[in-house]
Every structure is written in C-alpha cells, then in structure tokens.
Amino acid sequence: MNNQLIPMPQLGAAMALTQLLRENEHLPLLDWTVTVQGELSGQIANEYVDMRAVIGKYAERLGGQPHESRYPHHDGTPMYTATLATTWRDVTVLVTVVGRASLVRPAVPR
C-alpha cells in the first residue's frame, strides 16, 4: 500500500492501521493517531506499564530497533521513553511507550 498512490494519505494509513489491528489481535492496546501526512503514531503513557513487553511485541511484528531515552519524573525518579520508528506496508509508524521501567536497566522499585 503506497501512500504516494492514494489521493488522501490518511486513508492509506487508516487502512494499514485496520489491517495491523485485525491481523494482530494479540498486540498491546495503544492510543493511535493518523497524521495528515499519512503516518501512524501509537502511544501509551503509564508509569507502571511494562515497556519491554509492549515495545518488544511491536518491534517483533513491525520490525525495527527500539530506542530509549531517560528523563526525571516530577517526583525525581527516572522515567523512560521507548520509541520504535519503522515502516509497515508503506506507512511510516512510530510507537512510543513511556514508563518507569527501562528496556535495558532493571525496573525501579515502587
């Protein structure tokens, strides 16, 4: 599905999202946005979410390598953002997961 050939880029991205969800019912739920450029953005921000499981399942299905950044939470404890930027069925997909547990570091005790 090439977004360049679809007169309304959002339509191609919406169709790709429908296919992704229909074909992969086991994937963790995300809040999805379709941009006017025809890109998909899925995100979840929950300080207690298991980032490894969420981003890992999307990376396994969509391909790509997740990247992580660290920042301080308002209470001073570290928070982490994991992002996966990839292309799936000719549509740019960005998955962002925010939580207290790092992808590579041990989880911060509560």
Q: What is the pLDDT of residues 9-61, one digit of tens each?
A: 899 999 999 999 999 999 999 999 999 999 999 999 887 778 888 999 999 99
Going from the C-alpha of 27 to that of each of 34, 46, 106, the distances in angstroms are 18, 17, 23
Q: For residue 95, name the pLDDT band (cuts at 50, 70, 90).
A: very high
Cβ 38 vs Cβ 13: under 8 Å: yes
pTM: 0.81
